[in-house]
């Protein structure tokens, strides 16, 4: 018996007959006065200009490029209109984004705040280019180095970490040494060292390219290592090697000197397991814990500067607006390597300031995800009160991440959804629905346009942030996917999970 689709209800029929709005800019629209203002330095470009009210984003971009005399190499910009304290993004054209909703009238002078967009474009991943077996157990962590997408490291439940070659799709090296599950892996911002943290409470260092062990294990934690963070590249003096901070279930953080292989400091203060640690660009260490607090530490002296209390349950994950810049260190999309240590530091600082500078000041925002279904947006350098409480998830929030430029925040939750928030003021923007089970992690492409998520439902999904739609569905894993990472040049995505297979996804 064939299933009959029920006829449309009366309400639906009525709605179909209503007059619909058509997107046409009226012909008699008067001109408006606009003024360009840079979002990072806060400087204005040129004086106020009279332009047609229906001017499009592309035309504004052309105009701005002419004003700045870079018509030979035009830069892509995105614009937002300043309305009091908040910014309204210009999508399509000024009429539809600002004038028609009645936010501003044609009488007002519009201040257009512009931010340069990524000049390159990452193509969405659509297929699995390789499935590599090798790990004997569940894959728990995966990460690309900042410099290349040619190889990556995974940590697994078989007590090993492995270095994989993307081009030949084989194992480059197996890193034996831990005596229990390898829970976290982290590449140093220079890409030369990779650190692994394990269930046995030890941290080990390995050569980032060959996988050879560097020294013996760094022991000291009495329980498993839950998270690792490296010192940002621009804070490392030329000739030094970056330091490492590890968080553990025993409630302490340990600061390791990676050159001497010894513990410099132990930061204790949390009364329960520390779930996540981040090292900010202003030399502050942020740690989120199961004792419901976030602590901000001074990395120089090891003092606790602030304790941020707002959450009602465990803190699962924290993210910084500058995460991507700190991770990429001195490398960028051009793929060139710095010549010496001084240049390396200068380039890292430039990368960092590009993201962190807002209105001429360095601003580092932090978002924390919790078991109480909410998130908080903070600016720890300014205040110990949150900027915004982000509610909406119906189950615990497992993972948060800022987009590389810090404009957006995504949150992955066990309620099967991913939510998109404004990275500046924490306003809710959209929900990505599509997964049929808990979403574990998300990873951004470096051009801020795409997002990949991994889930318990065995799939990865790629989302378009601009249209807020599902771009491609990537089935292939036979079981839960625990770890996902997008390479910094955008060429590849790697994922691993319970089916013990490492999958590489490409365009």
Partner 1 sequence: MPQNEYIEQHIKQHGRRLDYEERKRKREARELHKVAENAQTLKGWKGKQFAKKRYSEKVAMRKKIKAHEESKVKGPKKPKEDDGEALPTYLLDRQQQTTAKAITSSLKQKRMEKADKFSVPLPKVRGISEEEMFKVVKTGKSKSKSWKRMITKHTFVGEGFTRRPVKLERIIRPSALRQKKANVTHPELKVTVLLPILSVKKNPQSPMYTTLGVLTKGTIIEVNVSEMGMVTAGGKVVWGKYAQITNEPDRDGVVNAVLLV
Of 399, 407, 492, 503, the one binding partner 1 by CB under 8 A = 399
The reply on whether position 372 binds partner 1 by CB under 8 A is no
Instruction: Assess 216 for contact with partner 1 (CB under 8 A).
Output: no
Rounded distance between C-alpha atoms, residue 237 and residue 168, angstroms = 36
Measured from the CB of residue 94, what is the shortest distance to partner 1 in angstroms? 41
**Long-range contact set of residues 331-337: C-beta below 8 Å, sequence gap at least 24:** 331/146, 331/147, 331/191, 331/488, 333/118, 333/119, 333/120, 333/446, 333/488, 333/489, 333/490, 335/148, 335/489, 337/147
Task: Round to whole Å and give the CA distance between 88 and 85.
Answer: 10
Q: Is 212 exposed, middle or buried (0-12, 13-18, 19+ CB in 10 A)?
A: exposed
Closest CA to 114 of 54, 62, 72, 71: 62
Judged by CB under 8 A, the number of residues near partner 1 is 45
From the list 57-65, 349-357, 386-394, 473-481, the region that binds partner 1 by CB under 8 A is 473-481
In the complex, least distance from residue 320 CB atom to partner 1, rounded to whole angstroms? 18
458 binds partner 1 (CB under 8 A): yes
Q: Does 215 bind partner 1 (CB under 8 A)?
A: no
Q: Closer to partner 1 at the Cβ: 170 or 179?
A: 179
Among 234, 311, 317, 347, binds partner 1 (CB under 8 A): 317
Minimum CB separation of residue 317 from partner 1 in Å reads 7
Contact characters 149-188, partner 1, x per CB under 8 A: -------xxxxx---------------x-xxxx-xx----
Count the Cβ atoms, other than its own, within 10 Å of residue 4: 6
418 sits in the region (left: phi over 0; alpha: psi -120 to 50; else beta) called: beta
The contact mask relative to partner 1 for 238-257 (x = CB under 8 A, - = no) is -----------x--------
- Of 502, 432, 464, the C-alpha closest to 153 is 502
Beta carbon of residue 50, minimum distance to partner 1 (angstroms, whole number): 53
Q: Per CB under 8 A, does 472 bind partner 1?
A: no
Q: Is 483 in the site for partner 1 (CB under 8 A)?
A: yes
Please name the residues in contact with 126: beta carbons below 8 A apart, sequence gap of 6 or more: 462, 472, 474, 505, 506, 507
Nearer to partner 1, 95 or 373 (CB): 373
Here the tokens at position 475 are: 């089935």
Is the distance from CB of 138 to CB of 180 less than 8 angstroms? no
Ramachandran region, residue 424 (left: φ > 0; alpha: ψ -120 to 50; beta: rest)? alpha
Element (H, E) at 328: helix 323-328
Q: Could you identify the residue written with the tokens 């365009």?
A: 507
Q: Which residue lies nearer to partner 1 by CB, 295 or 500? A: 500
**Cα separation of 359 and 115, whole Å?**
11
Selected range binding partner 1 among 78-86, 230-238, 327-335, 449-457, rule: CB under 8 A: 449-457
Site string for partner 1, 255-294 (x = CB under 8 A): ------------------x-x--------------x----
What is residue 200's DSSP assignment? Answer: T
Residues 121-140 within binding reach of partner 1 (CB under 8 A): 136-138, 140
Q: Which residues contact partner 1 (rule: CB under 8 A)?
A: 136-138, 140-141, 156-160, 176, 178-181, 183-184, 199-200, 224, 226-227, 249, 273, 275, 290, 316-317, 398-399, 435-437, 440, 455-459, 473, 475, 478-479, 482-483
């Amino acid at each position: 018996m064939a299933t009959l689709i029920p006829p449309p209800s009366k309400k639906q029929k009525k709605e179909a007959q209503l007059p619909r709005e058509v997107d046409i800019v009226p012909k008699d629209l008067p001109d408006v006065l606009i003024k360009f203002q840079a979002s990072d330095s806060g400087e204005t470009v040129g004086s106020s200009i009279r332009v047609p009210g229906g001017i499009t984003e592309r035309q504004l971009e052309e105009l701005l490029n002419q004003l700045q005399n870079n018509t030979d190499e035009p830069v892509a910009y995105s614009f937002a209109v300043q309305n009091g304290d908040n910014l309204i993004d210009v999508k399509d054209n000024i009429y539809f984004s600002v004038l028609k909703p009645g936010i501003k009238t044609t009488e007002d002078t519009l201040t257009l705040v512009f931010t340069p967009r990524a000049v390159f474009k990452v193509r969405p991943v659509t297929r699995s280019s390789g499935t590599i077996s090798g790990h004997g157990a569940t894959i728990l962590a995966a990460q690309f180095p900042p410099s290349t997408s040619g190889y990556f490291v995974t940590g697994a439940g078989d007590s090993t970490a492995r270095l994989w070659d993307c081009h030949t799709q084989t194992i480059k090296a197996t890193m034996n040494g831990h005596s229990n599950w390898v829970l976290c892996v982290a590449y140093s911002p220079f890409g030369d060292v990779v650190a692994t943290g394990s269930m046995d409470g030890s941290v080990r260092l390995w050569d980032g390219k060959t996988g050879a062990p560097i020294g013996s294990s760094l022991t000291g934690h009495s329980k498993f290592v839950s998270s690792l963070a490296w010192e940002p590249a621009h804070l490392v003096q030329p000739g030094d090697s970056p330091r490492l901070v590890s968080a553990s279930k025993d409630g302490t953080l340990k600061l390791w000197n990676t050159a001497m292989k010894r513990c410099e400091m132990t930061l204790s203060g949390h009364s329960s397991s520390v779930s996540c640690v981040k090292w900010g660009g202003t030399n502050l260490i942020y740690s989120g814990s199961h004792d419901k607090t976030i602590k901000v530490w001074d990395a120089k002296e090891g003092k606790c500067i602030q304790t941020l209390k707002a959450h009602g349950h465990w803190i699962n994950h924290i993210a910084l607006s500058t995460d991507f810049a700190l991770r990429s260190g001195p490398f960028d999309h051009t793929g060139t390597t710095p010549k010496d240590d001084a240049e390396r530091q200068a380039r890292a600082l430039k990368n960092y300031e590009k993201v962190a500078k807002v209105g001429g000041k360095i601003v580092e925002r932090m978002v924390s995800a919790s078991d109480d279904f909410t998130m908080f947006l903070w600016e720890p350098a300014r205040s110990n009160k949150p900027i915004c409480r982000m509610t909406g998830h119906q189950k615990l929030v497992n993972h948060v991440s800022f987009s590389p430029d810090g404009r957006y925040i995504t949150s992955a939750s066990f309620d099967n959804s991913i939510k998109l928030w404004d990275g500046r003021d924490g306003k809710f923007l959209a929900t990505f629905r599509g997964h049929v089970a808990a979403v574990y992690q998300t990873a951004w492409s470096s051009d801020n346009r795409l997002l990949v998520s991994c889930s318990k439902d065995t799939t990865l999904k790629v989302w378009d942030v601009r249209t807020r739609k599902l771009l491609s569905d990537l089935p292939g894993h036979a079981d839960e996917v625990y770890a996902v990472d997008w390479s910094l040049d955008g060429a590849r995505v790697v994922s691993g999970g319970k089916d013990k297979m490492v999958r590489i996804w490409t365009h």
